[in-house]
Amino acid sequence: MADLKSKFEAAIANSKSLTERPDNGTLLKIYALYKQASTGDNTEKKPGFTDMVGRAKWDAWNGFKGTSTKDAMQQYVDLIESLS
């Protein structure tokens, strides 16, 4: 797990220096995997109807409910590597 954690932290750093900005769907997936890996299952209240960005982020994160921290970290690392 320590090796995966270091790869995850490196991927976080790499995500800030991607050559191209990913599309919105990919950005939401990056966000959701990061939150799932670092925080766990989404237990926050769903944002109101007028907060479209907040709702999209909440829905994306909630889509990974039940995914283990280890699996979320690995998926995050794989996604960032595929974009680099």
Q: What is the pLDDT of residues 45-81, one digit of tens each?
A: 999 999 999 999 999 999 999 999 999 999 999 999 9
**The dihedral sign for the CA sequence 49, 32, 21, 82:** negative
pLDDT tens, position by position, 14-37 = 999 988 899 999 999 999 999 999
Closest alpha carbon to 42 in 12, 15, 72: 72
Instruction: Break the chain into its structural domains and give their ranges.
Output: 2-83
For residues 5-27, one letter each, b for 16 or more C-beta atoms within 10 angstroms of the residue's C-beta and e for the rest, the string is: eebbeebbeebeeeeeeeeeeee
Q: Please tell me the class of the 2-83 domain.
A: mainly alpha
3-state DSSP assignment of residue 43: coil
C-alpha to C-alpha distance for 84 and 82, rounded to whole angstroms? 6
